[in-house]
C-alpha cells in the first residue's frame, strides 16, 4: 500500500487547533480593522486627508497581521517541529529523512501562501468597502509577497532553533521576541530604517513602498532552508525526546 505522505502530514498539521487559531485571528483582525476605519473615517477630514488615512490604515493593518502571523507560525512550529517527531518515527524506516523534511516544508509553504492570500484580500476588501476613495494598485501585489516572505522567514528561524533545542519553550520565547521586535520597529524610526533593509517589512509612505528587505529576505530564506535541511538530516531523531 502506497503512502501519500504529503496528505498525511498536511492533515497532521491542518488540525482543529490551527483551523480555530486562523479563524479567531481573522475575526479579531476584522474587528480591529473596522474599528480603526470607523475612527478615522470622519467627514470632512477624510475628504481632505484620504491618502494619509489610507496610509495609516495600511500600516496598522500589516502591523496587526504580523503579530497574528507570528502566533500562527509559532503554533505551526510547535506542531511540525516538536509534536510531529513521534509521527516522523512511524515513517523513518521506509522514507528518507530528506523526504520528510521536504514534505513538511512544502505543506507549510502551501498553508502560509493560503493564509497570506486571504489576509491580503481581507485588508483590501475592507478598505474598498469602508473607504470611498480607497483603490487597489498593481504594486500592492508586493504586499502579498511580503506577507508570505515574512511568515516563511519566521517559520524557518523558529524551525532552526527548535531543531537545535527541542523544547516547546523555544518557539514560545521566539514568538515573544518577534512580537516585541515588531512593535519596536513600528514605533522607533531608527530601528525601522535598519530593519526594513534586511527584513520583509511593509513600509508605506505617500504611495511609495520600500521593499529592499523583501528581496534580501530571499537570500535569508534560501540559506535557512539549506541550514535547517542539514541540521534535520544530521540530527538523530532519538535526541528529539
What pLDDT, on a 0 to 100 scale, did the predictor assign at position 1? Answer: 39
Q: Annotate the chain with three-state secondary structure.
A: CCCCHHHHHHHHHCCHHHHHHHHHHHHHHHHHHHHHHHHHCCCCHHHHCHHHHHHHHHHHHHHHHHHHHHHHHHHHHHHHHHHCHHHHHHHCCCCCHHHHHHHHHHHHHHHHHHHHHHHHHHHHHHHHHHCCCCCCCHHHHHHHHHHHHHHHHHHHHHHHHHHHCCCCHHHHHHHHHHHHHHHHHHHCHHHHHHHCCCCCCCCEECCEECCHHHHHHHHHHHHHHHHHHHHHHHCCHHHHC
Preceding omega of 50 cis (within 30 degrees of 0): no
- pLDDT digit string, tens, across residues 2-34: 457 778 778 777 777 778 878 888 888 888 888
Residue 211: pLDDT band with limits 50, 70, 90: low
Cell (9 digits) for 230: 542539514
228 vs 45, residue with greater confidence: 228
For the entire predicted model, the pTM comes to 0.82
Residue 240: pLDDT band with limits 50, 70, 90: very low
- pLDDT digit string, tens, across residues 146-203: 888 888 988 998 888 888 887 788 888 888 888 887 777 767 766 666 666 666 666 5
Distances in Å between the Cα of 154 and the Cα atoms of 10, 35, 104, 127, 159 are 19, 28, 15, 27, 9
What pLDDT, on a 0 to 100 scale, did the predictor assign at position 218? Answer: 82
Mean pLDDT, the chain, whole residue set: 78
Name the CA radius of gyration of the chain, rounded.
20
> Strands 204-205 and 208-209: what pairing?
antiparallel
Amino acid at each position: 500500500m502506497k503512502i501519500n505522505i504529503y496528505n498525511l502530514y498536511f492533515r497532521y498539521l491542518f488540525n482543529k487547533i490551527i483551523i480555530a487559531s486562523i479563524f479567531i485571528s481573522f475575526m479579531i483582525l476584522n474587528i480591529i480593522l473596522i474599528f480603526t476605519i470607523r475612527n478615522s473615517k470622519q467627514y470632512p477630514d477624510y475628504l481632505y486627508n484620504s491618502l494619509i488615512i489610507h496610509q495609516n490604515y495600511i500600516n496598522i493593518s500589516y502591523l496587526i497581521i504580523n503579530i497574528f502571523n507570528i502566533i500562527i507560525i509559532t503554533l505551526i512550529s510547535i506542531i511540525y517541529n516538536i509534536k510531529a517527531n513521534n509521527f516522523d518515527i512511524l515513517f523513518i524506516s521506509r522514507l528518507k529523512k530528506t523526504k520528510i523534511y521536504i514534505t513538511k516544508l512544502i505543506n507549510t509553504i502551501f498553508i502560509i501562501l493560503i493564509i497570506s492570500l486571504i489576509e491580503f484580500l481581507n485588508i483590501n476588501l475592507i478598505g474598498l468597502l469602508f473607504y470611498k476613495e480607497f483603490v487597489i494598485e498593481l504594486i500592492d501585489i508586493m504586499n502579498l509577497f511580503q506577507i508570505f516572505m515574512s511568515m516563511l522567514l519566521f517559520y524557518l528561524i523558529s524551525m532552526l532553533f527548535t531543531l537545535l533545542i527541542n523544547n516547546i519553550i523555544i518557539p514560545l520565547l521566539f514568538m515573544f521576541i518577534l512580537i516585541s521586535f515588531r512593535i519596536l520597529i513600528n514605533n522607533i524610526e531608527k530601528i525601522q530604517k535598519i530593519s526594513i533593509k534586511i527584513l520583509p517589512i511593509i513600509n508605506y509612505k505617500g504611495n511609495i513602498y520600500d521593499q529592499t528587505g523583501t528581496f534580501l529576505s530571499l537570500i535569508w530564506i534560501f540559506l535557512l532552508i539549506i541550514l535547517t535541511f542539514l541540521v534535520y538530516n544530521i540530527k538523530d531523531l532519538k535526541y528529539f525526546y
